[in-house]
Amino acid sequence: MAIAVVGSLGLDTIETPAGRVEEVLGGSAAYFSLAARHFLPVSLVAVVGTDFPEEARRTLEHPEVDLSGLEIRSGKTFRWEGVYSEDMNTRETLRTELNVFETFRPKLHEGIRSFRNVFLANIDPVLQREVLDQLARPRLVLCDTMNYWIHSKRGELLETLKRVRILLINEEEARELTGESLTHRAARAILSLGPETVVIKQGEHGAFLQGRELYFTCPAFPIESVIDPTGAGDTFAGGFFGALARMSRLTDRTLRAAVVYGCVMASFTVEDFGVGGLLRAKRQEILRRAEEIMEMTRFSLNDTPRILR
């Protein structure tokens, strides 16, 4: 019942209005694993160079995070540097050094090939399919992507989407992928591309899920001060997929709750640089935030017959 994640690990240099950090642990597989482990064991498939710091590796080490699929290649680790705007809603990439990630061809070892739950983080859609080809009987495939692949490998991405059960994508990318300017129409258009469910990440506005017969919205958990939004989307994926896979069945009820846990987990990540906030997430606080989201969204329509003329 564990989850395999295939994605990136890297060293991020991040500048936000709140400060700057250099070469901290980053990458989609890091955020995803450190969030999903609260729900299920995670096996990580990624590549780093021989310069990957011992401290970064120790950060990932956890009883619920299996690093046996972590490949260490001769060369340098993937590096990314970015700077966020004053309101943190946009960011500029200053530097991307793919290094060993450039020739990453995920090879799943025997133990992972039998996994039923897999998260294909934002990598080349051709590689995402290569991962699927190695899985014996994938049951729940969650896939992320980004505008770069939408524009440069659209055909390959569409091929991959045919084999994906749930697509996770942000609002702007959903519009770019489908050409629909209304986000919920874009979400529905995605359902005709293969996925039976799509989750649209809306940053500070939360997320919504569109299924064939389900539309569920969830606000972001309100954070006192946002320090660094890097990794919030992959953390959402970890909370969402972790909770969903743990509940085993995909029903209206489990999908709704999974979106809430996605929003809750993402709220920890934005509270500090890198994975710092996520590392401090504790069971009690996860539960408290989920309950607070319920409190933020519940209402009653009992008065309606009386007030509506």
Q: Which residues bind a copy of itself (CB under 8 A)?
A: 17, 37-40, 64, 86-88, 175, 181-185, 202, 204-206, 208, 215-219, 222-226, 243, 246-247, 253-254, 256-257, 259-260, 283, 286-287, 290-291, 294-301, 303-304, 307-309
For a copy of itself, the closer CB: 206 or 233 = 206
CB 187 → a copy of itself: shortest distance, Å? 9
- 44 or 123, CB closer to a copy of itself? 44
Phi-psi group of 235: left, alpha or beta (phi > 0 → left; psi -120 to 50 → alpha; rest → beta)? alpha
Length of the chain: 309
The CA-CA-CA angle for residues 181, 173, 281, to 5°, reads 125
Toward a copy of itself, which CB reaches closer, 165 or 185?
A: 185
The least distance separating a copy of itself from the CB of residue 296, rounded to whole angstroms, comes to 5
DSSP E strand stretches across the chain = 3-6, 10-16, 19-26, 42-49, 65-66, 70-73, 79-84, 91-97, 117-120, 140-144, 166-170, 197-201, 207-211, 215-218
224-235 burial: b if 16+ Cβ within 10 Å, else e: eebbbbbbbbbb
Q: Is 193 left (phi over 0), alpha (psi -120 to 50) or beta?
A: alpha
Residue 289 CB, nearest approach to a copy of itself (Å): 11
**What would you report as the CA-atom Rg of the chain, rounded to the nearest whole angstrom?**
19
Neighbour count for residue 166 (Cβ, 10 Å): 24
CB of residue 249 vs a copy of itself: minimum separation in angstroms? 11
Q: Which is nearer to a copy of itself, 37 or 79 (CB)?
A: 37
CB of 143 to a copy of itself, least distance (A): 22
Nearest distance in Å: CB 191, a copy of itself: 14
Longest dimension (CA), the chain: 73
- Burial (0-12, 13-18, 19+ Cβ within 10 Å), 217: middle
Q: Using the minimum distance from each CB to a copy of itself, give the nearer residue, 10 or 242.
A: 242
Helix, strand, or coil here: 100?
Answer: helix
Query: Is the CB of 82 or the CB of 219 nearer to a copy of itself?
Result: 219
Q: Among residues 100 and 293, whose Cβ is nearest to a copy of itself?
A: 293
- CB distance 100 to 106 below 8 Å: no
Closest approach of Cβ 109 to a copy of itself, in Å?
25
